Amino acid sequence: MSDDTPHDETPLDTLPLDSWHRAQGARMVPFAGYEMPIQYTGPSGGIVAEHNWTRESASLFDVSHMGQLTLKGDHAAHELEKLLPGAISNLKPGKMRYSLLLTEAGGVIDDLMVTNTGPHLALVVNGACKWDDIAHLREHLPDDITLTHFDDFALLALQGPKAGEVLESIIPGTGELTFMTAGLFEWDGAHLWVSRAGYTGEDGFEISVHEGRAEDLANALVADERVKPAGLGARDSLRLEAGLPLYGHDLDQNIDPVSADLSFALSKKRRSEGGFFGHKAIAARLAEAEGGTLAKKRVGLLLDGRMPAREGADVFAGDQKIGTVTSGGFSPTLGRPVAMGYVDALHAADGTALECEVRGKRLPATVSPMPFVPHRYFRGS
């Protein structure tokens, strides 16, 4: 869900855990305006090792660059619904939903998570978009809705099949949460907001913690031998395998949710009732999708061989250029290159044989359902 556009013109911010990452052997790179760990060095470090550890055990990711916001006010859910296509009013306390801030033309301003915490709505938005998102929300929400930016909170993601048992042993009760639910927990005198969610396709949690206690919590998590730190590099290859779009690459203001294959985020009731930015455009795209006349669609591509096709690679059907790769790389889990991109909807059916062009070479690619690697979310035992 995040963008890696470096902000060269402004000095980089540091994360609350900056020195912790460096002590763990992180290689830091500019990302979303912050110096962030792309990978760690040492025997268990490296993107592939960190990726595989996340799929096998559990990894700790620092996603504190993301914007943590709350909205408070009598009609906050109703007002927020004017800016996004998800049903928020009927979201019960402790439940969360993936949604999209939209322009009036139906383009994606950002993708985000919305949680009903009870007293307020909590929003987690992309790091590179957070200042624009705040301005957009402030401009369009009524003045009696209070927007708070929790910029003194870190966000730590614990992801992997062993995340549930590890976190339950450290913060009892968290194991009861199911995918896309959240709650307030106390740990060693600190209040933690824990969500069972993430962006790797694995079971896991995102933990919001005050920056003053972030290091204690990170230390407690990696003290468990099942947990190792992992960087942005592994996070990117994991989310690509999970078929999850990355804002700024697979999503932007010129792309609508229907073409982006995110129609699941358009709640049925809201599709029919409207009353949100972009409704008219989205209704038109949905009708096109229904009638088979949608112009382009986000699809997954499985490539033959070992050479990856990356962002910007042209996609061909025969001699005709019919699309562009928006994210691509080598899948450590599958041992072959995978990509996602936008192609003419006429060539978007699963199994369609296409080609990606890389450095003048045509690489055979097959349109494939996503996720490439099955999601393993915890929906209850």
Partner 1 sequence: MPRYFTDEHEWIDVEGDSATVGITDYAQEQLGDIVFVELPDVGAVIDKGKDAAVVESVKAASDVYAPISGEITETNSSLEDDPALVNSSPEEDGWFFRLTISDTSELEGLMDDKAYKTFVESL
Identity of the residue, 38 or 141, whose beta carbon is nearer to partner 1 in the bound complex: 38
- Order the strands of the 190-195 sheet from edge to edge: 182-187, 190-195, 204-210, 153-159, 58-62, 227-229
Identity of the residue, 2 or 39, whose beta carbon is nearer to partner 1 in the bound complex: 39
Instruction: Work out how close the CB of 360 gets to partner 1 at its nearest, in angstroms, rounded to a whole number.
Output: 11
Instruction: Work out how close the CB of 341 gets to partner 1 at its nearest, in angstroms, rounded to a whole number.
Output: 16
Point out which residues bind partner 1 (CB under 8 A): 38-39, 46-49, 51, 233, 236-237, 306-308, 310, 329-330, 332, 337, 359
Identity of the residue, 61 or 276, whose beta carbon is nearer to partner 1 in the bound complex: 61
Instruction: Work out how close the CB of 337 gets to partner 1 at its nearest, in angstroms, rounded to a whole number.
Output: 8
Instruction: Work out how close the CB of 160 gets to partner 1 at its nearest, in angstroms, rounded to a whole number.
Output: 18
Alpha helices in the chain, H assignment, sequence order: 18-23, 47-56, 76-80, 130-140, 163-170, 214-222, 232-241, 268-273, 279-291
Instruction: Work out how close the CB of 339 gets to partner 1 at its nearest, in angstroms, rounded to a whole number.
Output: 13
Identity of the residue, 126 or 327, whose beta carbon is nearer to partner 1 in the bound complex: 327
Instruction: Work out how close the CB of 42 gets to partner 1 at its nearest, in angstroms, rounded to a whole number.
Output: 12
Q: What is the DSSP letter of 12?
A: P
Residue 125's nearest CA partner among 37, 209, 213, 63 is 63
Look at strands 34-40 and 96-102 and give their pairing: unpaired
Task: Give, in order, the Cα–Cα distances in Å from 282 to each of 29, 260, 345.
Answer: 37, 11, 16
Identity of the residue, 214 or 244, whose beta carbon is nearer to partner 1 in the bound complex: 244
Which residues 6+ apart lie within 8 Å of 158 measured at CB? 58, 59, 60, 61, 166, 167, 204, 205, 207, 221, 227
Instruction: Work out how close the CB of 243 gets to partner 1 at its nearest, in angstroms, rounded to a whole number.
Output: 17
Q: Give CA 86 to chain center in angstroms.
A: 16
Identity of the residue, 45 or 278, whose beta carbon is nearer to partner 1 in the bound complex: 45
49-86 as b/e: b if 16+ CB within 10 A? bbbbbbbebbbbbbbbbbbbbbbebeebbebbbebbbb
- Order the strands of the 13-14 sheet from edge to edge: 13-14, 34-40, 26-31
Residue 167's nearest CA partner among 216, 199, 207, 202 is 207
Identity of the residue, 359 or 379, whose beta carbon is nearer to partner 1 in the bound complex: 359
Identity of the residue, 2 or 237, whose beta carbon is nearer to partner 1 in the bound complex: 237
Instruction: Work out how close the CB of 144 gets to partner 1 at its nearest, in angstroms, rounded to a whole number.
Output: 46
Instruction: Work out how close the CB of 112 gets to partner 1 at its nearest, in angstroms, rounded to a whole number.
Output: 26
Identity of the residue, 175 or 332, whose beta carbon is nearer to partner 1 in the bound complex: 332
- Give the CB-side neighbour count of residue 165, counting CA atoms within 13 A: 9
Total number of residues shown for the chain: 381
